[in-house]
Structure 1
């Protein structure tokens, strides 16, 4: 049989004027691509079967616990890089809102180049905590409670409105769906879209966002319908509140410079141009950023397409999850951070983090590695009372504890938030 196959291959190769090894390599490459593509969808099929969400109708019984499990696997196995980037993008976009951006410029460490790094990473560890810790858990409640504590003075004074909070929530659930549709190796399934919306809906409930006040209703058949309603509302909100101002422009400049400073110097200029392309016209105008030229667009989109095809057909699915934060230390309760932007806030100085491939590459380009900055970077990890501006570090412990207890009453892990009461 082998000789027949070899003979047939040699004959075809000779008719085409090629070496037999060219045909064998092409056949092997094609087989590998088919296997990769097939295996890449296996985890989605397994998750759908295990949680029993075969169709749109079944999504109405998705619980908060189901939603968190799905979001966790999306963010750590399926799309870790772009899921993380899409959330960064989402938060950055909310800074272009008049109330939010102008307030941040006046009062936030994000507007101060020497302090922006910590505040940026603080936002990331809070968002990572939402996805890492399941509904009903103490540490999810703590992460939301710390967020509520930091927002409380501005919400109570009316400087941040309920509508502003809902818009931040909308961008946080919408941008991951949009980014995967446009740039990842596959778009999210209905199950995953519903999970993302359900996940953020219960986070919003713990943050005491009043949906009915903005949307005029409080019942939806599933997470997809909820997201669609919020999206329609957000379009009107953007038309009223997303626009340029000197303060927003200055805030945007500080944050873009922070983002680019986390990468090697040679990549910063092209990185800036690519970022301008990805922002889109509306967001660039809000921050008063320049419009990119044709060369930048011609570079950006082919690179994204090449990445999409490479992952889809040439990369086997991830075996181990991407870890952004650790589980709390059983003794100290501290949580370690593994994905800092510029400065190694809360990142443990292990041999691997300092001298592994990533550490060596960062050193080669003059970037910081875990352990640089000493004790000031809290290398043993963070407690939630460490999260926030420098003048709030270690403060509000009792109030955060009270808000933690309150947040735990807002969400049930096993609740089906879209299960409507039967009529009649």
Structure 2
């Protein structure tokens, strides 16, 4: 006689589900509550002051733990949105860095690494906030930074930008999007909205970045910045062929890993267009998509947010494009210490060249379409140095200038493996 199967009573199933919901609820809000308990009273609804270094700690909760993918996409779309301004798209077209898959894939990767570095790594150069408060008092006599990568990255971007004629308004518009778009995307698609403290922290942090980039006339409040940004769009975001050209190559790069079968790549393009604001879409001369597709994309993203909020445990470790540990990974004797990203695009720039089982793994990833080709020296599999990032023609230029600028930006010396001295000792 067959044994009867045991079926858990409904009350047991309901009990387990309730316990899971309570566990998710308690863990998912843990970091949010902790950061607000720590800095909320100090900010005091705008009556107090938080420093840019403290602001960076606050934005890390959403950016590295609670919604890292969404925040990364928001920044990517912020950058994409600037391509709807003809003065910006014409400059990018003139550089020819977004004209072919060879140049755009590296340009996209380098840009993502540079921005992620100054977002994720401490802008003071010190892991301890108290240490960062002391450097302004000591100046040149201050001890070297624990982690100078953020300001090396920013100094490198400042150098690269200095090679081109860019108006302050175009700089300011780009900065405004890096402040405002994460708020917009969180409101629309995240499992929770950014709090007033987080929004203000984002403003304070990016305003400091703007100052260190030499951007002038930054509005003093979020509403003022939002009004300025909207007015700038209304005046200057107009259709232009260069907008469309840069938009097309960028979307193609973002969809490089999507197979061109069963209309998947075409669908991906249409979804990307659905995510654009009307003014951006019109400036890039894309057709408005069917309402049902826009509704479907919106519903899909909001369903994902619902599942994240109520059913999924939070991230227990930070998620960043760059490694957060400032110490270099072990290198062979005599090798220059280099960095590798924590994630890779379809064309895997800076991915270590695999061996053994890793080679088979990467072969399978290429066969599956995750990567378009195998890592190797042609994609700089040895890794990157921050002072080398950017267009190929600038790779070997201005390294000393960048390091000097980085030291000035963080207010203390650059030393260790990511300095030129550390590089020379190893190379």
Q: TM-score range by the shorter chain?
A: 0.7 to 0.9
Out of 264, 269, 277, the position equivalent to 2:266 is 269
Aligned to 1:309: 306
Gapped regions of structure 1 (runs ≥ 5) = 1-18, 221-225, 411-424
Measure how far apart 1:405 and its partner are. 3.3
1:235 aligns with 2:230: yes
Aligned to 1:286: 283
Contact 2:32 2:61 in 1 (8 A): no
Query: Normalising to structure 1: TM-score of the pair?
Result: 0.81
Q: 1:394 aligns to what SS in structure 2? A: coil
Measure how far apart 1:28 and its partner are. 2.5
Quickly say closer, same or farther: Cα 1:341–1:251, change in 2 above 3 A.
same
Out of 244, 247, 256, the position equivalent to 1:252 is 247
Q: Deviations over 1:302-326 (max 9, x none)?
A: 2112101110111011112213112
Q: How does 1:20-99 map to 2 (within 5 A)?
A: 21-53=9-41, 56-57=44-45, 60-99=48-87
Query: Normalising to structure 2: TM-score of the pair?
Result: 0.81
Q: Deviations over 1:267-301 (max 9, x none)?
A: 42222221111112111111111211123123211
Aligned to 2:348: 344
Measure how far apart 1:351 and its partner are. 7.3
Contact 2:43 2:50 in 1 (8 A): no
Separation in structure 1 between the aligned mates of residue 175 and residue 33 of structure 2, nearest angstrom: 28
**What's the C-alpha RMSD, in Å, of the aligned pairs?**
2.6
1:320 aligns with 2:317: yes
Aligned residues: 375
Q: 1:388 aligns to what SS in structure 2? A: coil
1:135 aligns with 2:135: no
Measure how far apart 1:333 and its partner are. 4.4
Q: Deviations over 1:40-89 (max 9, x none)?
A: 11211111223354764366321111111122232211111101111110
Contact 1:77 1:321 in 2 (8 A): yes
Separation in structure 1 between the aligned mates of residue 275 and residue 357 of structure 2, nearest angstrom: 30
Contact 2:118 2:150 in 1 (8 A): yes
1:390 aligns with 2:392: yes
Quickly say closer, same or farther: Cα 1:404–1:248, change in 2 above 3 A.
same
| Bigger Cα displacement from structure 2, 347-356 vs 132-141 | 347-356
Separation in structure 2 between the aligned mates of residue 56 and residue 168 of structure 1, nearest angstrom: 29
Contact 2:31 2:61 in 1 (8 A): no
Separation in structure 1 between the aligned mates of residue 101 and residue 292 of structure 2, nearest angstrom: 30
Aligned to 2:365: 362
1:186 aligns with 2:186: no
Q: 2:277 aligns to what SS in structure 1? A: helix
Separation in structure 2 between the aligned mates of residue 243 and residue 117 of structure 1, nearest angstrom: 26
Quickly say closer, same or farther: Cα 1:173–1:29, change in 2 above 3 A.
same
Contact 1:111 1:255 in 2 (8 A): no
Measure how far apart 1:264 and its partner are. 3.5
| Bigger Cα displacement from structure 2, 80-89 vs 24-33 | 24-33
Q: Deviations over 1:334-375 (max 9, x none)?
A: 222122222111223467994799x68733423328x92411
Quickly say closer, same or farther: Cα 1:123–1:320, change in 2 above 3 A.
same
Aligned to 1:377: 379
Contact 2:110 2:390 in 1 (8 A): yes
Out of 394, 402, 405, the position equivalent to 1:403 is 405
Quickly say closer, same or farther: Cα 1:80–1:149, change in 2 above 3 A.
same
Contact 2:352 2:382 in 1 (8 A): yes
Separation in structure 2 between the aligned mates of residue 289 and residue 59 of structure 1, nearest angstrom: 45
